[in-house]
Structure 1
Amino acid sequence: MLKQIIPLALMALLSACVDDEMQISGCEPMGDIVPICGMQTPEDIAALPDGRHLLLANFGGMHDGTGSLSLFDTDSGQLTPLFPPRSGPVDTGDPLWGEADCEPPPLARFSPHGTHLHQLADGRWRYLVVNHGGRETIEMFELLGVGAQSRLAWRGCVPAGPDTFMNDVVGLSSGDLVFTRMFHDGGRLEQLLSLLGRNTGDLWRWSRETGLRVIPGTEANQPNGIEISADEQYVFANMYFTGEVWKVDVDTAEVIATAPVASGDNSAWGSDGRLWVVTHSDSLPNLLSCFEHQAQPCGAGFEVVAVDPETMAHEPVFSHRGAPMGAATIAVPQNGRVYLGSFVGDRMISVPDFGLAR
């Protein structure tokens, strides 16, 4: 009986009053907000070290959709597909990363979510991608080339443990990684229990030596985006429905501090040295309405909250609702502007870098 009630409850939420601003048409700038349209949903964004290019994780949706990885030039506006390859086999190179028996992902079902670009101790750049397509894995790519010549070579993967739906991941220079388990299965029952306050996930760590292990004491309601400090001593996890950002010691697993930041999606380091957490500030019916059409932009309100990594003091530094894009997930500074992606739609937006004025 409960399984029959849950879909009805979710449908009731969806059919509740939804504001007209949720529906967006056209691709015109609005003041300083410039939309970049004609791309598959850029749910996560990573800035390349050249100060000009971005890696985009083109999201296919929470379940069943497929996506891709691409390169965006902030000067020319050119978008270049990177993965899956247009033709030929996957460039595997020397797959030294990840689990020894992990094969390349099924390309026709590739479905990227959270990502992290970081440098390993040997100087190579590793791009980690949560993949839901055909399997629940963290795919590992090496970033090769520079600037417009950048390309991705698959280097292995780490399968998630059973009963795991991941959201985001960060890597350490040692090769270890830490990821968020958002749900166990992400089904309607678990989603409803989440709305009722039940914890749904936690943080996990992986290394080649010890494999997967849960980080004790990190159970929360929908762990979402995660970032890591430059010294790799702490991770900052956005506990979406718990309503907090947690600062967790990587080695001791101790929760050092928290900040009361509700509905935090993805995070990135801002140009002001603070952690920029994108939060969803709109009503639940409005947010749920965004999921009805994955390819359509949605105007749900959001804020970028800047969190001091030392004191955990926090303040909103940017907010928006409606056209040309709402429902943002990530805010990344690059080349004098801040680029914001979304979990739905055909675009990202850019605004002048608000961190530089601090």
Structure 2
Amino acid sequence: MKAWSSTVAALLWICSLTGAASAAGVSDCPSDERATYVCNVRNAEDLVAIRDSAWVIAGRLTDPPTQGGFYLIDASSGAASPVAPDFKGPKASIYSECPGAPGKDEFAAHGIAIRYGAGSKHELYAVNHNGRESIEIFDLDMSARRPALIWKGCVLVPPAVMPNSVAPVPSGGFVVTSFGIRTDAQTYQKAMAGGISGFVAKWAPGAGWSEVAGTQFSANNGVAVSEDGKRLFVTGWGDRKLHVISLGEIPYTHQAVELGALHPDNIRATPDGRLLIAGQAATPAEIFACTSLPTCEVGFKVLAVDPRSLSVEPLLDESGSRAFGGASAAIMVGNEVWVGTFSGSRIARYRLRE
């Protein structure tokens, strides 16, 4: 990890959640009374179920970060393995300002998102903190037996942006949450106290970066965009709320949904259109303490939110254990909720009660 000031470095432990102590992968992680597990996946902080396939892709944030990248998981068998993208291809013309592909050991995926295209060709976006603060863009080719990732460009984030999650917008480009402000020496203290500390930035081809109006919240974390591109969903890790903001409208509108005793993390859409929000049910100090442990043991919750009515349905409320805790992302895979963590060696699989 590159050098940071002590304050910003401390915040990065939380906002990008890369800093759990390194540990050997779990070679055998049998089911328990609540969950089954995908084993040997270190710090699968974000998860995406690839549409119309049996594959799940996870960000691979590890310590040391030279081991980072992605995991591919076969949802039918639960088998997981690291995947190495092809970084040898040329960059696309819309990323002309990208200095080039990251070098060896200069990439570790944090927040991830997919823009779906026609047929088997899609794009994958990944937040990268290793070597540079950037959004790295890949072609995701689903035409072969195993998905393939081919690097096609990058966008370096502005000096103030502390990138966490990313989501494509229908008109082109993407939005990125900034958990804190890298140029603010007090940003860590503000985030931990639930004060205003972050925002959402938008990048558009040809126009570059801009701040999305009305998105200055507390520790902006997860982000999702409605299919029509008119609404933005942002979790405030510090204020424990889901924020819903109009996108591209002046004046903007804003609604806030209280999420209770939860520090919400990533957002993922379900096949039926709801939003899954996973997060940690503990104090900031307890969550921060996980960064020195091989497995976070704090409790966590998973909520399902109707994007229209904004009604909230609790799906999981777990105490955390030596096996698994500190949830940071949740997805639906069949009738199971799969849960990733920023600190641990497993993905937990919970079967929903019928």
Structure 1 residue aligned with 2:327 = 328
Deviation of 1:184 (Å): 1.6
Structure 2 residue aligned with 1:40 = 42
Length-normalised TM-score, structure 2: 0.84
Deviation of 1:345 (Å): 1.2
Structure 2 residue aligned with 1:106 = 103
Structure 1 residue aligned with 2:125 = 128
Structure 2 residue aligned with 1:138 = 135
1:69 touches 1:82 (CA, 8 Å); kept in 2? yes
| Pick aligned residue for 2:59 from 57, 60, 70 | 57
Structure 2 residue aligned with 1:258 = 256
Determine the C-alpha separation between the residues in 1 that align with 2:76 and 2:225. Answer: 28
CA RMSD of aligned residues (A): 2.8
Structure 2 residue aligned with 1:76 = 77
Determine the C-alpha separation between the residues in 1 that align with 2:272 and 2:137. Answer: 29
Structure 1 residue aligned with 2:290 = 290
Deviation of 1:271 (Å): 4.3
Deviation of 1:197 (Å): 3.6
- CA distance change for structure 1 residues 106 and 176 in 2, over 3 Å: closer, same or farther? same
Is 1:183 the equivalent of 2:180?
yes
| Pick aligned residue for 1:207 from 198, 204, 210 | 204
1:164-220: per-residue Cα shift (whole Å, max 9, x none)? 211001002432201101112298842123223431110111111211001122111
- CA distance change for structure 1 residues 350 and 330 in 2, over 3 Å: closer, same or farther? same
2:91 touches 2:100 (CA, 8 Å); kept in 1? no
Instruction: Determine what percentage of the aligned residue pairs are the same residue.
Output: 24
Deviation of 1:339 (Å): 1.1
Partner of 1:107: helix, strand, or coil?
Answer: coil
Determine the C-alpha separation between the residues in 1 that align with 2:61 and 2:301. Answer: 21
Matched to 1:42, the amino acid is: A
| Pick aligned residue for 2:168 from 150, 171, 180 | 171
- CA distance change for structure 1 residues 317 and 219 in 2, over 3 Å: closer, same or farther? same
Higher relative contact order (CA closer than 8 Å, sequence separation 6+):
1
- CA distance change for structure 1 residues 265 and 48 in 2, over 3 Å: closer, same or farther? same
Matched to 1:70, the amino acid is: Y
1:223 touches 1:238 (CA, 8 Å); kept in 2? yes
Matched to 2:61, the amino acid is: F
1:42 touches 1:343 (CA, 8 Å); kept in 2? yes
- CA distance change for structure 1 residues 157 and 327 in 2, over 3 Å: closer, same or farther? same
Deviation of 1:55 (Å): 0.7
Deviation of 1:79 (Å): 2.2
Structure 2, unaligned stretches of length 5 or more? Answer: 12-25
Partner of 1:286: helix, strand, or coil?
Answer: helix
Structure 1, unaligned stretches of length 5 or more? Answer: 11-24
Determine the C-alpha separation between the residues in 1 that align with 2:130 and 2:68. Answer: 9
Structure 1 residue aligned with 2:147 = 150
1:278-315: per-residue Cα shift (whole Å, max 9, x none)? 1211233432221103xx22221011111110121213
1:298 touches 1:327 (CA, 8 Å); kept in 2? yes
Write out the 4+ residue segments of structure 1 that deviate beyond 6 Å after TM superposition.
none
Determine the C-alpha separation between the residues in 2 that align with 1:148 and 1:180. Answer: 34
Deviation of 1:32 (Å): 4.1
Matched to 1:37, the amino acid is: C
Partner of 1:194: helix, strand, or coil?
Answer: helix
Deviation of 1:70 (Å): 2.1
Determine the C-alpha separation between the residues in 2 that align with 1:216 and 1:65. Answer: 36
Determine the C-alpha separation between the residues in 1 that align with 2:268 and 2:299. Answer: 19
Equivalenced residues, count: 330
Determine the C-alpha separation between the residues in 1 that align with 2:41 and 2:279. Answer: 23
Determine the C-alpha separation between the residues in 2 that align with 1:304 and 1:186. Answer: 33
- CA distance change for structure 1 residues 174 and 121 in 2, over 3 Å: closer, same or farther? farther
Structure 2 residue aligned with 1:348 = 347
Determine the C-alpha separation between the residues in 1 that align with 2:96 and 2:305. Answer: 35
Deviation of 1:94 (Å): 5.5
Deviation of 1:123 (Å): 7.8
Partner of 2:105: helix, strand, or coil?
Answer: helix
Partner of 1:303: helix, strand, or coil?
Answer: strand
1:25-72: per-residue Cα shift (whole Å, max 9, x none)? 9723222401222122111011112341101101136x9675111211
- CA distance change for structure 1 residues 28 and 298 in 2, over 3 Å: closer, same or farther? farther
Determine the C-alpha separation between the residues in 1 that align with 2:43 and 2:220. Answer: 21
Matched to 2:58, the amino acid is: L
Length-normalised TM-score, structure 1: 0.83
